[in-house]
Amino acid sequence: MTIPRKAQVSLDATPYNHCVTRCVRRAFLCGRDIKSGIDYEYRREWIKSRMHKLVGIFARDIAAYAVMSNHYHIVLFIDKEAALSWPDSEVIFRWKELFRIPILAQRFILGLSLDHSEKEKLRELLSLWRERLTDISWFMRCLNESIARQANAEDNCTDRFWEGRFKSQALLDEKALAACMAYVDLNPIRSNMAKTPEDSDHTSIQQRIYAAISGEQPKELLPLVGGERLNMPKGLPFRLDHYLELVDWSGRHLDPKKCGAIPDNIPPILERLGISPKHWLYFSRNFESRLKGLVGSAEAVRHACSQLGKHWVHGISDCQRYLSVTPY
CB-based contacts of 300, cutoff 8 Å, min separation 6: 13, 172, 173, 176
Question: Are 18 and 187 a contacting pair, CB within 8 Å?
Answer: no
Q: Which of 64-78, 209-223, 312-326 has the lowest mean pLDDT?
A: 312-326
Task: State percent of the chain over pLDDT 90.
Answer: 42
pLDDT digits 0-9 by tens, 110-148: 989 899 999 999 999 999 999 999 999 999 999 999 999
Q: Residue 62: which H helix or E strand, with range?
A: strand 60-67
Cα–Cα distance between 167 and 287 in angstroms, integer?
13
Question: Are 178 and 156 a contacting pair, CB within 8 Å?
Answer: no
pLDDT digits 0-9 by tens, 168-214: 999 988 888 999 999 999 999 888 888 888 889 999 999 999 888 87
Question: Largest Cα–Cα distance in the chain?
Answer: 75
Residue ranges and CATH numbers for the domains of the chain are 5-79+135-322 (3.30.70.1290), 84-132 (no CATH)
pLDDT digits 0-9 by tens, 233-292: 678 888 888 898 888 888 887 766 655 544 666 676 677 667 777 777 776 676 776 666
